[in-house]
A and B are shown apart, each in its own frame.
Chain A
Amino acid sequence: MFFRTIIIAGAIGLLSTASHAGCGIDSGSVRIGGNDFPAYQAVAEAASQCAGGGATVSVDLNKDHKDRQVASLTANPAEFTSSLANNSALRVLMNDGLVRPLNNLVAKHASGLQDMQFVTVDGEVMAIAYMANAQHLFYRSDILDAAGVAPPKTYEEVLAAAKAIKDKGLMEYPIAGTYEGWNLGLEFINMYLGHGGEFFKSGSAEPAVNNAKGVATLNMMKSLTEYMNPDFLTYDSNAVQADWEAGKVALTNLWGSRAGPVTDGEGSTAEIESNTKFASAPTVAGGSRPATTLWWDGFTIATNISDEDAVATFKAMMNGITTQMALANAEKATWLIKGAKQNPAGVGVLASASGGALPYPMLPYFGAMHTAIGAEIIEFLQGNESAEKALEDVEAAYIAAATEKGFL
């Protein structure tokens, strides 16, 4: 009985805060869709506090949002009034004109945004970014100490450290990497950018990856896989995180958004967690640019909705990315929001960004390139074909897909 009273009291308390959130919305429908991970959940939760009065807020976060985003925003009226997006998702949505410019909304209803949060294309604000993400180095300080090596700054040092760990018998497979499907394509993109490579002939959609830098990239990836679990081609981020938390891996280049979860006191031992350290993504081949891509995450507003819903959605989303939200969820992401505190798990993302890492390319035809890379370099990593042949296949597969998409 006592507990029930508490619960009811709590529920009433929540309701009253909800209706007094003061988002200034009294009508309209806000429908938020996006990928499902803790940082997005925090934003959506804060935005949904605006429900009440005549306004409704619904949240639908799903791990496979990227597969439904085009269809759900193509519908008229769109299924979601706001789709939470990143570099790559915005590119796809813009290719079909599914998100609207936000300049008017920003002028009327935005306050407290930092300049860097505006994602603009041709002067039009297309998204408001609220967090940054990047793959960066995770290392186990205790294992590196035991092996007698310093935290690596370059991929050559990563290989040397892995060799030392293996030779000392500390770990069988000291390196892990996300080498499955789409992730594998991204690993190549990261490493290739670290080598200073260009994906296209300048000013065109013609591929240009079959070159010495591409070969060096593949060879480096292959050398890394020699220190990975032989099943590496089936490893996505979840599998890498699981191996990390089980203490089977000492070095990996994993997402910033995983840094919080591997140090959250759950799913691992205190010894592993306290020795898990983060640093900038390593450089490679004497380059100065960390071999990774920077990602921003932000919100967009759909084209195919009424202006009333667009205003309501914009206001609700602004309420989702407040300083309080960022402070209350500091460990969940590297927030780009004004007044957000730097979080210890976010050092890797910031270090990579300040080291000069490049953002993930926003070119309209980059998706076809990413897919082609992920599919065609597998045989090289399995040892069944040469690096040159693999890159030739990448270009051929890209040309076929880009032609069909109308880019070539």
Chain B
Amino acid sequence: MAFTSVKQLLAAAKEQNLPLWEIILDEDVKDRGTGREDSLRQMNALWSAMKSAGVSYRAEARSKSGLVGGDGGKMEEYAKTGNGIVSGFFSEVIAQALQMGECNACMKRIVAAPTAGSCGVLPAVLIPFAKANKIEDRQIISALFVAAGFGQIIASRASISGAEGGCQAEIGSASAMAAAAVVSLKGGTPEMCANACAMALMNLLGLVCDPVAGLVEIPCVKRNVVGAVNAISCADMSLAGIGSAIPPDEVIDAMREVGDMMPAALKETGTGGLAATPAGITAAKRIHGNI
């Protein structure tokens, strides 16, 4: 059985004196009754697919509803001018998150991580990070095991579905997974990975799932940006030695409780929040009347 608490995961890493990713890989091998090579091969395929998705972006593509498309291109052009408030790596993260979210909305091939709606967060952090720091694929694959391991604990204690727990369960979880992954790439300790995960999740606690017209477009595409930027901030805080006042498992449990308390209108039904604004309703009427 896979880990159901961060506490367990950290204890196993300490006891066996192995890096987090090895512990998570071993557990997957046991859980699915597969071989180490098979597990590594699968993760490698996911990383390759993330990179391919990154280059499949076309700025002229629009989603079928016409609600999204092109913003990733605008952001990339703007970043190139060098006049942005942030530049270099950070502006690439923003552009990549938008592009991946738009690829998904335009029916391109992406990697659900953990979901299709939140597919932009991990690649938006990892692709520019690998490029800027000349990181080898092998290391990224290890970091993806770290991300998946934390994601699995979140899925078991809380949820990774917007319909069950709101956007905090999708973008929040993706952000927490990305934060842990990037800390591991920077050589942070397992505790630092766990703290980054906890802080990223607590920062997005309460985020509702309120897609306009019920489609994975508005605000989903742009929320990938907030997930990625939040992951990097929390990773750096953790690497600076800043801890999470609330232990990771308790943050995850709080996410579940908040999700349980959320009304159905804010859990992927497209009936509350942004979906229920006058502009959201107008868009929904146009789309459902025309498609």
Say if A and B assemble together.
no
